Every structure is written in structure tokens, then in C-alpha cells.
Amino acid sequence: MTDQAAAAALEVGQPVPDFTLPASSGSDVSLHQFRGKKVVIYFYPADMTPTCTEQACAFRDYNGQFAELGTEVIGISPDELKAHGKFIAKHELPFLLLSDPEHRVCELFGVWQLKKLYGKEYMGVVRSTFLIDEQGRLLKEWRKVRIKGHVEAVLEAVKAQG
């Protein structure tokens, strides 16, 4: 998917289509279950990798502040639930991780894209975060995320929504 196609996948201010994925809790989780709360969904490439671990731990460290603001944090990657379970246990992650091995939700959000590493091209998750309001509308998006200061910026955006 091109960057233009990704940008067109969802538009700020528009409702986010409902989806259901298997969760680290052992049950299926749907976006509509979180109506009445803000939701931060962050997409990441893989459990246990250095940058993904740094990102998950940053969300973990601020999870209490998000919760005080009535906001759920959810991570999504293509990893299987077993890998999510190990990731959660090792880093004491207090939020759900959803498994999207067929990339359906990644594609819905426009984060499943062609990437390049060391001259090789492959399809993968482009690290991105989305803030969804209590009615299920997209409030803000961060694409091609750099970790430094990112979680703080997301928290500030939640605070700004009141």
C-alpha cells in the first residue's frame, strides 16, 4: 500500500469501522466494546524486538495516566497469541495485545506497507498510533512513529481532548 493509499484508509473525524481480533486475554475483542472510552491503538511490527519492546514499555509506564483519562491502550501486531503472552509476561504489560496474522486490521488502518531494509523490500507493519474517541471516531493519527517522546505526545493529545 502506498503512503497515499494509507492516508486514504481512514480519515480523522470519521468513524473507524468495527473489527474483531483474538486478544492476549484469551477472548476475541471488538472495537465497539470500548465505546464510551477513548482508545489508543498502536501497531507495531513484532514482539520482543528492541524498538517494539521500548514502545510497549513506554505505553506500560504511562498506562496509569491513560487509564485516569478514561483511555484504553491496545497494541496490535501480526504475532500469534503465544508470542503476545510471552511479551506481556516478560515486560509486565498491563494492556491487551491483539493478534492480526492475516493483516486485516493492519490493512484497514493502512499500516501494512512495503518496507525496505538493507536494500531488500518486504511487506510489514509501519509503526503507527491512532487515537479514537468515545463514539468510535478517529481523533488523531501518528504514522511512521519514532519512539522518543511519542507516548508523551499521545498522552498530551488525550489530555487535550478533555
Q: Which three cell numbers stand for residue 66?
A: 491513560
pLDDT-based confidence at residue 110 (cuts at 50, 70, 90): very high
| Angle formed by the axes of helices 81-91 and 50-68, nearest 10° | 70
Cβ contact 38:50 at 8 Å? no
Q: What angle do CA 155, 144, 72 make, to 5 degrees?
A: 30
What is the structure's pLDDT at 4? 40
- pLDDT tens per residue, range 18-75: 999 999 999 999 999 999 999 999 999 999 999 999 999 999 999 999 999 999 999 9
Tell me which residue has cell 481480533.
21
Q: Which is the catalytic residue, given 21, 39, 52, 106?
A: 52
Buried b (16+ CB within 10 A) or exposed e, 114-133: eeeeeeeeeebbbbbbbbbb
Q: In CATH, what number is assigned to the domain containing residue 148?
A: 3.40.30.10
Cβ contact 106:115 at 8 Å? no
What is the structure's pLDDT at 9? 66
Active site (annotated) includes residue 52: yes
Give the number of domains in the chain. Answer: 1
Q: Which domain holds residue 17?
A: 3-161
